[in-house]
Amino acid sequence: MTDSQALLVEYSEHGSESAFRELVARYIDLVYSTALRKVSGDAHLAQDVTQMVFLQLVRKARRIPRNVPLGGWLHGATCNVAATVRRTERRRQKREEEALQMNALQNDSAGRLEQVAPILDDAISQLPNEDRVAILLRFFERRDFRSIGSALGSTEDAARMRVNRALQKLELILKRRGASISAAALGAALTAEAVAAAPAGLAASVAGSALAGVAAAGGIASSAFTIMVMSKLKLGIISAVVIGGLVVSLVVQHQSLARLREDNRSLQQQVEELRDAKNQLAQVAVDQDELAKRRRDQSELLRLRAEVTTLRKATQAATLQPLPAAPLSPGASAAPDTVLRVIRLEANVRTQVGSGQTLVTGGWVSELGKRTLVLVTPRVEGENADKVGIETKMIEVPEAVLSNVGLESLLAEGTETSLHKVIPADQAGTLLKTLQSSGGTQLIAQSSMSTPDGGQCQVQVTDEHDQLVVDGQKLSIGPLVDIFPVISGDKSTVDITLRTVTTKLTSKAK
């Protein structure tokens, strides 16, 4: 509790006149200077307002909260009383004078206090509570920063920062009202001119009038006493002030209700914004769940396709096992000293191939000194890059050529292989030309087709002349290529699951 609050408690609880006179002496300059600004420099009217403010202090001393700075309370009371007086006495003149003053403020930015005096106190009243208290303590009560920090419950440095920020906010408020003055100039002007000395003897007169007023019985006696000491006011002004004092509480309640309604509208708007944000987050979560579900479905589809491929492989393996010597059908013929044998060459590969690159696999021994290769080139196509064009070639090359073109790793042992190599797009064409230009190279089959992303693509190069009946079974002689292409997310590569089977008929001496 500050010493001013202690004096107020001593007066309100014990009726100490000395305590009240000390309070008047401390704050008379603050109240008078504020009143003088509010009544546009009318010294007589400012003295009357000052008396009314301290009379209110006498009546309301017990109801003033102990944690409210007394200087702030007196400043607010002075503004209210002065506003009531001015509304009654000079309603028309005020609008004209304010218009002239605003024009003068807009044309002159010298920064002196008299330029903003008519609107300064209203601007201070619009500051947040802690900023307003800091301004009043620093420039109206003339406290140092250490004392301000103690009053605000903070440090000296924090008080200095609070005052500087309050000056900046006050600058913005004044600028919105049409007054151009910097925070630095405003601080210098307030330091020099914020508080003007009250006329000599005013403090004693005010204290005596206020104490005499509190001794009178009832509010009517106090009002009558006030009318007597303010002999210079017109009767109409006095009557309006008395009535205005009765409706001050209603005005304050109306303003508080308006602020509460505005706060309620702001809170409702914030609630709506939070609800919209929540709905957006929920929609994002739904989209993420849907994406995860689609990915799981795609993985399950690929797994099922792999199982189908495995089952098809097992079925064909059971049907197309290498057969022993078998008689030809009536339409076929063979040398009398040979028998026919069916063999099955198979490659299974799963890898990632760039769009335009070439996958090379196979490498089986086709006949003495030669190897069979399968070349698959996928390309991402379609307006939405949702299709795969696949070019397939099967060639037979001399085994010695493979080492010359860097394919010596594709030397399959037996009839099944998973060996493969991916050739960059700029080298694939050169490789094919090199192989075809080598002596003994033969193009067995080739095809081109398109399939949707994730769709099955099957190539079988046979016709009715490539069929053979062995033990009553009709066998297709030639290559079968089964491909499952899946385009990657960046549309630059294709995940390929490849299975190729070549059924061949060979002869063997008896």
Q: Give the pLDDT score at 286.
A: 63
Give the Cα separation of 208 and 301 in Å (integer): 99
Residue partners of 380: CB distance under 8 A and separation at least 6: 355, 387, 388, 487, 491, 492, 494
DSSP string, 63-103: GS-TTS-HHHHHHHHHHHHHHHHHHHH-HHHHHHHHHHHHH
Q: Give the pLDDT score at 146.
A: 92
Pairing type for strands 493-509 and 338-354 reads antiparallel
pLDDT, mean of residues 368-396: 88
Q: Give the pLDDT score at 82.
A: 92
- Count CB-CB contacts under 10 A for residue 262: 10
Give the Cα separation of 166 and 360 in Å (integer): 78
Tokens of 176: 């919105």
Give the Cα separation of 316 and 346 in Å (integer): 11
In this predicted structure, the answer to whether residue 370 has a pLDDT above a threshold of 70 is yes
In this predicted structure, the answer to whether residue 144 has a pLDDT above a threshold of 60 is yes
Tokens of 87: 């509304």
In this predicted structure, the answer to whether residue 358 has a pLDDT above a threshold of 50 is yes
CATH 1.10.10.10 fits 102-196, yes or no: yes
Q: Give the pLDDT score at 426.
A: 79
Report residue 413's pLDDT band, with 50, 70 and 90 as the boundaries.
confident
Phi, psi torsion values for 470, nearest 5 degrees: -125, 120
Q: What is the DSSP letter of 324?
A: -
pLDDT, mean of residues 87-98: 68
Taking the whole predicted model, whether its pTM rises above 0.95 is answered as no
Q: What is the DSSP letter of 113?
A: G
Q: Which residue has the higher pLDDT, 206 or 230?
A: 206
Domain boundaries, the chain: 1-89+200-233, 102-196, 320-509
In this predicted structure, the answer to whether residue 227 has a pLDDT above a threshold of 50 is no
Pairing type for strands 338-354 and 416-417 reads parallel
The percent helix, strand, coil of the chain (3-state, each to 5) is 55, 20, 20
Phi, psi torsion values for 503, nearest 5 degrees: -100, 125
Q: Give the pLDDT score at 316.
A: 54
Identical fold at 1-89+200-233 and 102-196? no
Per the prediction, the chain carries an average pLDDT of 78
Q: Give the pLDDT score at 200.
A: 74
Give the Cα separation of 47 and 32 in Å (integer): 7
Q: Give the pLDDT score at 225.
A: 43
Q: Give the pLDDT score at 222.
A: 46
pLDDT, mean of residues 61-73: 88
In this predicted structure, the answer to whether residue 401 has a pLDDT above a threshold of 60 is yes
Q: Which residue has the higher pLDDT, 373 or 109?
A: 373
In this predicted structure, the answer to whether residue 220 has a pLDDT above a threshold of 50 is no
Q: Give the pLDDT score at 47.
A: 93
Give the Cα separation of 242 and 213 in Å (integer): 14
Give the Cα separation of 248 and 56 in Å (integer): 12
36-48 per-position pLDDT tens digit:
999 988 898 999 9
pLDDT, mean of residues 479-493: 86
pLDDT, mean of residues 415-432: 86
Q: What is the DSSP letter of 199?
A: P
Q: Which residue has the higher pLDDT, 345 or 313?
A: 345
Alpha-helix runs per DSSP H in 230-326: 235-319
Q: Give the pLDDT score at 392.
A: 92
In this predicted structure, the answer to whether residue 475 has a pLDDT above a threshold of 70 is no
Report residue 97's pLDDT band, with 50, 70 and 90 as the boundaries.
low
In this predicted structure, the answer to whether residue 193 has a pLDDT above a threshold of 90 is no
Report residue 229's pLDDT band, with 50, 70 and 90 as the boundaries.
very low
Report residue 132's pLDDT band, with 50, 70 and 90 as the boundaries.
very high
CATH 1.10.730.10 fits 1-89+200-233, yes or no: no
- Beta carbons of 27 and 56 less than 8 angstroms apart: no
Residues above pLDDT 90, as percent of the chain: 23
Q: Give the pLDDT score at 253.
A: 58
Among 306-320, 328-342, 360-374, 424-438, the range scoring the smallest mean pLDDT is 328-342
Q: Nearest-CA neighbor of 345 among 311, 370, 317, 318? A: 317
Three-state DSSP class for residue 111: coil
What b/e string do you get for 227-252 counting C-beta neighbours within 10 Å, with b at 16 or more? eebbeebeeebbebbbebbeeeeeee
Residue tagged 């609070």 (tokens): 162
